[in-house]
Structure 1
Amino acid sequence: MTETPQPRRARAEIDLGALRANVRTLRARVAPHVQVMAVVKADAYGHGAVPCARAALEAGATWLGTATPHEALALRAAGLTEPRILCWLWTPGDPWAEGVEAGLDMTVSGMWALREVVEAARQTGLRARIQLKADTGLGRNGCQPADWPELVGEALKAEAQGLVRITGVWSHFACADEPGHPSVPAQLDVFRTMLDYAEKAGVEPEVRHIANSPATLTLPEAHFDLVRPGIAMYGVSPDPVLVGPSAAFGLRPVMSLKASVALVKHVPGGHGVSYGHHYTTPGETTLGLIPVGYADGIPRHASGRGPVLVGGRVRTVAGRVAMDQFVVDLGGDTPEPGAEAVLFGPGDGGEPTAQDWAEAADTIAYEIVTRIGARVPRVYVGE
């Protein structure tokens, strides 16, 4: 066997062993009867949907979750034909018939969606699997309590006609990443009320669920029949301050972003660096060129602040992040061109983490890992 050469410009290393361990850790936090849905929307938060879905299933997840139907259908096309897949973000004219044929669990939040999925069931001659989503206070997708009786009643009529099977009732928290926030128990109360109404009307769901990553970690009363870990599965805390750091829950970051130093050069003091000269060298120094930029997902808002490990020391982005590259001031050090620059990783070796970049860019770690673009190849380890 020959070793696959590593991409030289940049790569995102995805540790599938860490992902499997994270899923097992999350699995252990819930009761034995509670199932785990591995959320792999947005290309598994930038980690690669198909490899991560397979690893999560190997580790004990029994469901997969996606946002768009196209994400869900891509999983089926990749050979993931057995697991249940819930898809929740549908728009009018989406491929409902293909979803029915693929055996997807399709979220219905309003009457227009129920009409389209019923028509798709008639077209295909197959019973559609649907899950009714309740808006318990988030104010995004989901059916308002005032509209719930109509949606439940019409869904039950379609079920009686053999057109649909109501497989789930679910909702989503607004502030579960803020333990103690008054909206959390309020949403739970509304969810229980709407669920009770549906079940008394005749709905017999296979799964009832509301717990996202923070609720999976901190709110056992919200686990019901299934939990939906997303960011936690990738070893990133929903909020390291309010919820707690990922390590406190036994979770390990899965993605490490690395690049090769493209150029090292000596410059005099007073030398401007990158567009706008927002950074000027304070004295004679060396500059290192890192060949990734905002086209690769490096946040421009981290200009002058983003941390990078080069030559055993954490450096800071000097000046603006450009489309394809940025510069670090090496302070006179002279690593060889091709030396490794680690933008973020688990932090074991002193490298920055995705959370460090989130703080530098005034955003959340979800965005840091999810925005790494397709121009950065994913390299899978721990397979």
Structure 2
Amino acid sequence: MSRPELRISSETFRANIEAVRARIEPSTLMLVLKDDAYGHGLRWAVETAVQTGIRWFGSYDIRSGLEVRRIAGRDARIFAWATSTDDEIDEALAHDIDLGVGTREYLSRVIARAAVLGAPARVHLKIDTGLHRNGVLPEEWPEALAEARAAERLGQLELVGVWSHIAEASDAEDDEAQTAFLDAVRIAGESGPAPALLHLTASAASWWRPELRGSVSRIGAFCYGIRSADGPELEGVRPVASLSALVEEIVDGAAVIAIGSFDGLPSTLSGMPVGTPGGTRTLAEIGQTTSVVEGWPGAQVGDEVMLFGPGESGEVSATTLAERIDSVGEEILTRLTPRVRRIVRE
């Protein structure tokens, strides 16, 4: 059986990055790389992004950040925001990785490890603006700042940034989050040198709410051409990846293709439209290792069926598929197993 292919366009990725940068200027783009660059491959994403001049990477965790450092070199700035072990903190400090810190406990551990190693930690302190996804509570913010400033005076820490996550549930809630964020920034500035790196927004809010952007915008999905679920299309941005599988046999006029739920294709996506040489057809059934597509005139073994992509063969995007099962486009991409061959095209 032939293997399905996830075809990845470097040209499209570069064009998306440029479109996003133009949209968010003068805010600086931090390219987010979580989940192996949303299933596209971390090494490819970093190498390609460096070619476009990207210097800020959001790795999520320190382990991924270390890999980014090996690929991108010493000039890149890397932000890892997952709360980590002491050993991971040591690695981050040794390899010049910025740390996102969202709890008093984690802040104390980062300072302690910096004191032991004699290497100051570059810290972005996170304020909880209402999402309750980690973050120092507003009532504890002055105490957290006092601890950070004390460590700063001892040469153990550099408070370089203030950041947060927002819910992106409604404009009103996001406005409230910005108010809380700006208040935290004000208090930070009163406690010492004002942090230069302020980042509140991820993909959707960075794109549509310019008034919420800080000096940095953390954007992942949109750079890969993955729009928000139930959101509009993005001007100048196209899907970077397309998924294809070959016809293995023709049975009663239907085409059996070489991809199934064992390859990471959710079985609940049966009934979705796919692209074929005969135009858009329905994916009628998703089995464990093969699937069945509604036939078309002249269908034959070896024909290519596009499961998702930019729409050039009648297929829809990964996000459009995800909306059918109340999910997001990145889930469709990150579920794909190693049996799906990754093919990079310039």
Segments of structure 1 that go 5 or more residues without pairing to the other structure are: 1-6, 267-285
Paired residues of 1:256 and 1:345 also in contact (CA < 8 A)? yes
Number of aligned residues:
346
Matched, 1:307 2:265: no
Superimposed CA distance per residue, residues 47-70 of structure 1 (whole angstroms, 9 cap, x where no aligned partner):
111211222232243200021211
> For residues 24 and 154 of structure 1, what CA distance do their matches in structure 2 show?
39
Paired residues of 1:35 and 1:61 also in contact (CA < 8 A)? no
Q: Matched residues, percent identical?
A: 33
Instruction: State the 1:240 CA deviation.
Output: 4.9
Instruction: State the 1:28 CA deviation.
Output: 1.1
Q: Which residue of 2 aligns with 1:254?
A: 240
Q: Which residue of 2 aligns with 1:217?
A: 207
Instruction: State the 1:92 CA deviation.
Output: 4.1
> For residues 145 and 287 of structure 2, what CA distance do their matches in structure 1 show?
52
Paired residues of 2:228 and 2:319 also in contact (CA < 8 A)? no
After TM superposition, the structure 1 stretch with the greater mean CA deviation from structure 2, 291-300 or 46-55, is 291-300
Residue among 316, 322, 340 paired with 2:287: 322
TM-score, scaled relative to structure 1: 0.85
Residue among 246, 250, 274 paired with 1:264: 250
> For residues 288 and 171 of structure 1, what CA distance do their matches in structure 2 show?
49
Matched, 1:381 2:345: yes
> For residues 298 and 3 of structure 2, what CA distance do their matches in structure 1 show?
19
TM-score, scaled relative to structure 2: 0.94
> For residues 327 and 203 of structure 1, what CA distance do their matches in structure 2 show?
62
Superimposed CA distance per residue, residues 162-216 of structure 1 (whole angstroms, 9 cap, x where no aligned partner):
11111111011101xx5x5310100010000011111111143231111211122
Paired residues of 1:306 and 1:361 also in contact (CA < 8 A)? no
Paired residues of 2:306 and 2:313 also in contact (CA < 8 A)? no
3-state SS in 1 of match to 2:31: strand
Instruction: State the 1:351 CA deviation.
Output: 2.0
Paired residues of 2:242 and 2:306 also in contact (CA < 8 A)? yes
Instruction: State the 1:30 CA deviation.
Output: 2.6
Superimposed CA distance per residue, residues 3-35 of structure 1 (whole angstroms, 9 cap, x where no aligned partner):
xxxx94211111111111111111112333x21
> Could you tell me which amino acid in structure 1 is paired with residue 345 of structure 2?
V
3-state SS in 2 of match to 1:66: strand
Paired residues of 2:46 and 2:71 also in contact (CA < 8 A)? no
3-state SS in 1 of match to 2:300: coil
> For residues 329 and 349 of structure 1, what CA distance do their matches in structure 2 show?
15
> For residues 135 and 325 of structure 1, what CA distance do their matches in structure 2 show?
46
3-state SS in 2 of match to 1:182: helix
Paired residues of 1:92 and 1:113 also in contact (CA < 8 A)? no
Matches within 5 A, 1:92-107: 92-93=85-86, 95-107=88-100
Paired residues of 2:31 and 2:220 also in contact (CA < 8 A)? yes
Paired residues of 1:15 and 1:380 also in contact (CA < 8 A)? yes
> For residues 362 and 128 of structure 1, what CA distance do their matches in structure 2 show?
40
Paired residues of 2:275 and 2:313 also in contact (CA < 8 A)? no
Matched, 1:196 2:180: no
Superimposed CA distance per residue, residues 105-131 of structure 1 (whole angstroms, 9 cap, x where no aligned partner):
011111221122123213332111111
3-state SS in 1 of match to 2:195: coil
Q: Which residue of 2 aligns with 1:275?
A: none
3-state SS in 2 of match to 1:211: coil
Paired residues of 2:284 and 2:294 also in contact (CA < 8 A)? yes
RMSD: 1.9
Matches within 5 A, 1:229-248: 229-241=219-231, 244-246=232-234
Distance 1:219 1:264, change over 3 A: same
> For residues 193 and 134 of structure 2, what CA distance do their matches in structure 1 show?
21
> For residues 85 and 137 of structure 2, what CA distance do their matches in structure 1 show?
19
> For residues 54 and 16 of structure 1, what CA distance do their matches in structure 2 show?
10
> For residues 213 and 115 of structure 1, what CA distance do their matches in structure 2 show?
31
3-state SS in 1 of match to 2:24: coil
Residue among 67, 73, 76 paired with 2:69: 76
Greater than 6 Å deviation, 4+ residue runs: none
Matches within 5 A, 1:46-85: 46-85=39-78
Larger radius of gyration: 1
Superimposed CA distance per residue, residues 324-358 of structure 1 (whole angstroms, 9 cap, x where no aligned partner):
32222326x45222211100111133222213311
Residue among 241, 256, 266 paired with 1:289: 256
> Could you tell me which amino acid in structure 2 is paired with residue 326 of structure 1?
S
Matched, 1:136 2:102: no
Paired residues of 1:63 and 1:86 also in contact (CA < 8 A)? yes
Which structure's residues are more often helix, by fraction?
Answer: 2
> For residues 361 and 94 of structure 1, what CA distance do their matches in structure 2 show?
40
> For residues 132 and 278 of structure 2, what CA distance do their matches in structure 1 show?
47
Matches within 5 A, 1:120-131: 120-131=113-124
> For residues 373 and 199 of structure 1, what CA distance do their matches in structure 2 show?
47
Distance 1:62 1:181, change over 3 A: same
Segments of structure 2 that go 5 or more residues without pairing to the other structure are: none
> For residues 240 and 49 of structure 2, what CA distance do their matches in structure 1 show?
12
Paired residues of 1:156 and 1:203 also in contact (CA < 8 A)? no
